[in-house]
Chains A and B, each alone.
Chain A
Amino acid sequence: MDILGFVANLFADYTLRQVAMGSAVLGIVNGVLGSFAVLRKQSLLGDGISHAALPGIALAFLLTGSKSSLTLLLGAAAAGWVGTLLIMSIVKHTRVKYDSALGLVLSVFFGFGLVLLTYIQKLPVATQAGLDKFLFGQAATLLRKDVVTIGILGGIVVAFLLVFWKEFKLVSFDPDFAVSLGFPVRMLDILLTTLLVFAIVIGLQTVGVVLMSAMVVAPAAAARQWTDRLGVMVAVSGIFGALAGVSGALVSSAAARIPTGPTIVLCASAIVFFSLLLAPNRGMAWSWVREQINRRQLQTEAVLGDLYVLARQHREPGHGHPVEVLRTMAHGHGGVDRSLKVLKERGLVQETGSGEWALTPRGMEEGGRLSRQWREIP
């Protein structure tokens, strides 16, 4: 019997199921919360929170000696929260700007976290192994109880979001109006940021502190391309997050020596790329197509207009004008031949000789209408 195959199967069956479920939850929760972060111009706050969480993980381990995911996650959340408050208070009390405060807190906290991690690694206890998995994430280390913890925390976060949906929506789009209505905007602000902290912390074990921020930004930025409605955006973002999480985690579990975090991030980036290109309305491919159609129409109208001007300058309307003249009048913008073909099909121009064109009576009418229309443009 093929022992390797058997082991691989067993591994696939149990671990893959945990991995898929854990990644799905983290993807959904971060996609949902990320929508608010992106809309509130806090895309990079996730970067700060996830890096700032590292010393929290190390301290939680140092203080309790436990590696249970709940302990470490709470430690991470506390540190992430402290980091966020620090950023806010630096911005509020000094002239250091938001971006500097963010970069400062994230790098200093991370550096302190590395000091603690390297310190822990030298300690003569056997249980410390595995903490460095939090750097880039290792989906394969997810156990059933980790998934349960992630699921419960994620559920609470999403539940809070749904309960305060209306308030969060208002605070995100028009904080001044919210203040004038008497909502406790500052409290809501802190609550929403706290939820974001928990969302990020959930993903640390799978994606890692270094890249977790991408899970906040990417699904939301992708979802933003598909809709203009907050509710739809949040739902789509959750689905994208889950998709990226599951596909990335599965790919990295299947192949050797691929850390999970980067793989998930690349899957999320692919979704963003696809959305930027192909989403209806906002997709760049469609804008390009629209641009081409507009351009052709303008070219055709310009040729018709040029012919009309030429016809007005000559006595007999049926006099043909060489295509070279039309090309010159189009300033080399091109599309003259194509435009003539289109106009001919519509019965507006006729070829009077080889390479010579004139307007038909209907073409004269159309040209007159067009020139009056253009004159109205201020």
Chain B
Amino acid sequence: MTQAASDSAPDAPAPGGVAADYFDGRHAKAHAVRVHVEADQLAIAGDGVHYSVPLAGLRWPERTRHGVRILQLPDGASLHCRDSLAWDTWSAAAAGRRDSLVVRVQQRWKWVWISTLVLVCLIGVSYKHLLPWAARAVVAVTPESADVAVGDAALSQIDDAGVMLPTTLSAARQEAVRTAFAQAVARLPSDVPKYRLEFRKSTIGPNAFALPGGAIVLTDDLYERVDGDKDILTGVLGHELGHLRHRHGMRMLVQAGVLSAAAGAVYGDFSTLFAQIPVLLGQASYSRDAEHEADVDAVRLMRANGISPAVMARFFEKIRQPRPGEKTDGTGPGPQMPIAIASHPADADRIRFFEQAAQER
């Protein structure tokens, strides 16, 4: 655009130039200079400085609304300009400085809002689809021995911490549960993960959970609550077997790891506590999805054994009621947690799921 003008008057001094402070990189003394462009050189003159450097290869400071412009020169010297507007106008016109794409986006609110929108969508999609998909892929290529190592470490930690005590169920009862469950699982057509049943006396109430590597822990308390009902236990253990088949434990580890790394990178500088919030919410939402997947597997196992999924509704009933003589400790049921936080789908939703499954058969 200015080609013609500069061609017609090649020897005329470049228009204007700009005032700046020059530092030689060895002394702290500032030299007030004027900077011009002469042919393909940057000419710096004033206060005893007479100096020029080739324009090619200069890394121009980026345009921002606030802030001093500092041009780093090849030999450790630098030019500082406080009048950023004059500097930007001059360097664009005379020295051919161009804003990078990133700078242009950063300096236009329109593009900033578009970036924000893209960012929010991207985070939403990653949260909902990308991360679970990636976790599944990572776990798929992880050897099973890793699951076993993680699960064993977790179980011995639980035992050492005294959360779980040795079971008080008689050997005969344990054997009955084992046999019944083995028979139920044998009726599944395919896709049975490796598992082993572990019995423990729990100090934190009725519970059953699966650990990576195949351990399914059933607590005495839960067994007693359902009076050893075989159908209910098949459903409960089928649910835990579903967690094992989908390797939910390992997937959760990967997802939680990525989530906390990402949240820590963005908000760790503000507060590590604040960075925990998205991790907590994300984990709760993933855990809800995993519980649903495991419920689907429980139904699969029950159907294979001709058990109506409706027995699971009975399970939720039994587990809700306090046992006769049990002391109420005044904590109450608490308000229902909003769905974003509760890690299990609300009991009512799960009961509805099992009842619907019972009708569909």
A binds B: no
